Chains A and B, each alone.
Chain A
Amino acid sequence: MKRIFATLALIAAAGPALACETVTVGPLEVSQAWSRASIGTARPGVVYLTIRNSGTADDALMSITTPAADMPMLHQTVMTDGVASMPHAMEVPVPAEGQVALEPGGYHAMLMELTQVLEEGETFPVTLTFRDAGKVTIPVTIQNIGASEPTCPSPDE
């Protein structure tokens, strides 16, 4: 019996608990972190996630790091007269008592120089650095290359 519990605990710790995790740092809650499977490592990867701020002060996401890429950067897809460009974002504002999403067609973390193939179904950690709240690490779920939204439910659901 003990062994079954131990096994269950192990499965819970190693398996589903890693995907769809919600992490908090100060008043910030980060959830629904996902990426797309890559073909090889030559092309840049992407990370999307949602940040909620229950605090009364604005914060900002300043940078990200991950063992999955040597050069991760924050970018924003911007449309000008129907033309999409992808400028580097110096920071992603996280408004007080509000939320911001890194999502397709908007802010996103671009993973340049992937160090590993991103395999569908696996996860990799990403560490976010906020201007005021500090650092927090979240596992990112790798979804299908054709995915357009997170499979992980929003924390409210």
Chain B
Amino acid sequence: MKPPTLMRVGVVAVAAVLFMLVLGWWQTRDGDRQAAGILPLPIDQMSFALTDQSGDTVQPKDWLGRPTMVFFGFTWCPDICPTTLSDISIWLEEIGPEADRMNTVLISVDPGRDTPEILGDYLSNFDPRIIGLTGPLPQIEQAVDGFRASFRKVPQDDGDYTMDHTAGVFLFDADGRFVSIIDYHEDYRYAVPKIRRALE
């Protein structure tokens, strides 16, 4: 009887240690992220004023009271931005009318080319619930900072330029608290439940 008990104790001890290690890693990871300013601010602590495709001014406080989904991009982007927009259109369609009570927002990181009219023209090809925001560069920078995101202008061989930018989709609940990020290329099976969690 003794050896199995000892073994059981051993197994439990190892499991407990592993659990603490994982928990510790998890907590420090989130702690480090918060300390390093990597987690987005709650929406009510963000501050910027941008213009949507209808020409209306949008500030973070306008989003409070509704769950919010935000991502960054630009319309001169050939690969990932149309892909993200089409992914989001598919998610919104899958969620259905419930997604009507959500703010779904694209913030352009390329205000030099993306005027409100150009954004509106481009977004008319995707789900009509997607709002496009642009504005003066300092306001865009302030918005990006609030999400702890980043972007950078990259010159190209033809004299043109492209933009590097944070590719994830940020989710906030109706009180403006950060819920989670949908990473680029995350499986739909995980994306839609994450959005539903923000909708709860």
Residues of A within 8 A of B (CB): 36, 39, 42-46, 71, 73, 75, 77, 79, 82-86, 88, 104-105, 108, 110-113, 144-148
B154 touches A85 (CB 8 A): yes
> A13–B152 Cα gap in the complex (Å)?
47
| B139 is an interface residue with CB less than 8 A from chain A | no
Q: Which of B79, B165, B181 contacts A83 (CB 8 A)?
A: B165
On chain A, the residues within 8 Å of B87 by CB distance are 148
Task: Decide: A113 near B79, CB < 8 A? Known: A84-B167, A148-B87.
Answer: no
Residues of B participating in the A interface, judged by any CB pair closer than 8 Å? 75-76, 78-80, 82-83, 85-87, 89-90, 121-122, 125-126, 149-152, 154, 156-158, 160, 162, 164-168, 181, 183-185
Cβ-closest chain B residue relative to A111: B78
Give min CB distance, B159 to chain A, whole Å.
Answer: 10
Q: Would A82 and B121 be within 8 Å (CB), given that A105-B83, A111-B78 are in contact?
A: no
Residue with the highest number of chain B CB atoms closer than 10 Å, among A43, A45, A88, A144: A43
> Contact at B79–A108, with CB atoms within 8 Å?
yes
Q: Are A145 and B184 in contact (CB under 8 A)?
A: no
- A84 — nearest CB in chain B belongs to which residue? B167
A108 touches B78 (CB 8 A): yes
Known: A39-B121, A105-B184. A86 touches B162 (CB 8 A): yes
A66–B103 Cα distance when bound, in Å, is: 40
* Inter-chain contacts of A45 with B (CB < 8 A): 78
Q: How far is the CA of A71 from the CA of B162 in the complex (A)?
A: 15
Q: Are A146 and B79 in contact (CB under 8 A)?
A: no
- Is A112 a contact of B160 with CB atoms below 8 Å? yes
B contact residues around A112 at 8 Å (CB): 156, 158, 160
Kindly list 10 other residue pairs between chains A and B, CB separation below 8 angstroms, not including A44-B78, A79-B184, A86-B80: A36-B82, A46-B78, A46-B79, A77-B79, A82-B149, A82-B181, A82-B184, A84-B164, A85-B164, A104-B80
Q: With the chains together, A85 CA to B86 CA distance in Å?
A: 19
**B83 → A minimal CB distance (Å):** 4
Instruction: Tell me the minimal C-beta distance from A138 to chain B in angstroms.
Output: 19
Residue in contact with A82 in the complex, picked from B80, B156, B168, CB distance below 8 Å: B168
CB-based nearest B residue for A48: B79
CA distance A85 to B154 in the complex (A): 9
